[in-house]
Structure 1
Amino acid sequence: MSDEIRIASVIDDSIVDGPGIRMAIFFQGCAHGCVGCFNQETRDFNGGHLCEISKIYDAALKNPLLNGITLSGGDPIYQVNGALKLVKLFKNTSLDIMVYTGFTYEELLEMEKNNEDLQAFLDNIDYLVDGRFDISKKDISLKFRGSSNQRIIDMKKTRKERKIIETDFSDY
């Protein structure tokens, strides 16, 4: 596994990238090409900069106000080896992990059959916002997602029950 990931940026204390106060890591590289993407600068796989995974982890631990970590992009799935290493570092902390991807969960299920790192990654995250942004289904009233085709999946319950269990964070 890589000790570095290619990122566009890090927001140390976001309140819009998931429930509570979160560190949001914007991965560099995405091939989905969603029309209306709000992070078009993260599409280029050679853009952004390399960042040591341990530095992200150390910075997060220094912030006692954080409730969680959000991996966004770009799309973290394109760097699943580094993303896995990052989420494993947080496994024994109180911080939950939320991941945004343009892939649907069903697509990821097919992909993980041939990718042990992807399988382990999906097993080690708490929430997955899946699906490409669809400008025709844009809805600014939705929490933590941009279009109504995207789902917030409770990954712990989904993996345990082997069926998709969504959450809407209605208590947030």
Structure 2
Amino acid sequence: MNYDRYYSQDVVNGEGLRVTLFVSGCAHACPGCYNRSTWNRLSGQPFTDEVRERLLDLCADHDGLSLSGGDPLMPANREAVADLCRRFKQRYPDKDIWMWTGYLYEEVCQLELLRDVDVLIDGRYLQDQPTSKPWRGSDNQRLIRLAVARKAAD
């Protein structure tokens, strides 16, 4: 997996103070997307073990980790994203992971890696559906609190 960039101090992509990773690779190609630089999965830099550990270390004094892109759930990204999420939850079990994806939840709900994700914002960006909803780019996108749904199912 490659990544485009990360923010070590982010208060825009989720609740509280966060570390946000923008992965490379997105086949959705939504018209009007503001992260076009992340579409090519070969662009950016390799997501190495060193980068992963740096991100995890940065999360120590933060409220959580946010994953965006590109699309963290593109098939080529899933293994590295799953590993990052698993390691984050092992190190910080009381902190949360937020993830943005162009897939609908129903298309990816079977993915084991979502067990470590607390909040999922799903759906393609639709530029003709503006929104004032927090953390979403267009009105069709849903904010799904997976952690709450898991607790209700237990």
Looking at structure 1, the residues matched to 18 and 79 of structure 2 have their Cα atoms a distance apart, in angstroms, of: 22
Alignment pair present for 1:143 and 2:139: no
Q: Which amino acid aligns with 2:138?
A: S
Task: Structure 2: give runs of 5+ residues left out of the alignment.
Answer: none
Greater CA drift, 51-60 or 145-154: 51-60
What is residue 72 of structure 2 aligned with on the other side? 76
Tell me the TM-score normalized by structure 2: 0.89
Q: Residue by residue, what CA displacement relative to the aligned partner does 1:8-34 show, whole Å, maximum 9, x if unpaired?
A: 001111111111111000000000011
Looking at structure 2, the residues matched to 32 and 51 of structure 1 have their Cα atoms a distance apart, in angstroms, of: 21
What is residue 31 of structure 1 aligned with on the other side? 27
Alignment pair present for 1:20 and 2:20: no
Following superposition, the deviation at residue 90 of structure 1 comes to 1.0
What is residue 101 of structure 2 aligned with on the other side? 101
What is residue 46 of structure 1 aligned with on the other side? 42
Q: How many residues align?
A: 149
Going from structure 1 to structure 2, the CA distance change for 1:53 and 1:97 (only over 3 Å counts) comes to farther
Q: How does 1:103-122 map to 2 (within 5 A)?
A: 103-109=103-109, 112=110, 119-122=111-114
Tell me the TM-score normalized by structure 1: 0.80
Q: Residue by residue, what CA displacement relative to the aligned partner does 1:93-117 show, whole Å, maximum 9, x if unpaired?
A: 13210000000001113xx3xxxxx
Is the 8 Å Cα contact of residues 12 and 135 (structure 2) preserved in structure 1?
A: yes
Following superposition, the deviation at residue 120 of structure 1 comes to 1.8
Looking at structure 2, the residues matched to 38 and 80 of structure 1 have their Cα atoms a distance apart, in angstroms, of: 22
Task: Structure 1: give runs of 5+ residues left out of the alignment.
Answer: 113-118, 163-172
Going from structure 1 to structure 2, the CA distance change for 1:25 and 1:62 (only over 3 Å counts) comes to closer
Is the 8 Å Cα contact of residues 19 and 55 (structure 2) preserved in structure 1?
A: no
Looking at structure 1, the residues matched to 138 and 49 of structure 2 have their Cα atoms a distance apart, in angstroms, of: 30
What is residue 120 of structure 2 aligned with on the other side? 128
Looking at structure 1, the residues matched to 59 and 41 of structure 2 have their Cα atoms a distance apart, in angstroms, of: 29
Segments ≥4 residues shifted beyond 4 Å: none
Looking at structure 2, the residues matched to 62 and 10 of structure 1 have their Cα atoms a distance apart, in angstroms, of: 11
Q: Residue by residue, what CA displacement relative to the aligned partner does 1:65-112 show, whole Å, maximum 9, x if unpaired?
A: 311100000000111110000000111313210000000001113xx3
Q: Which amino acid aligns with 1:100?
A: W
RMSD of equivalent CA atoms:
1.7
Looking at structure 1, the residues matched to 59 and 148 of structure 2 have their Cα atoms a distance apart, in angstroms, of: 28
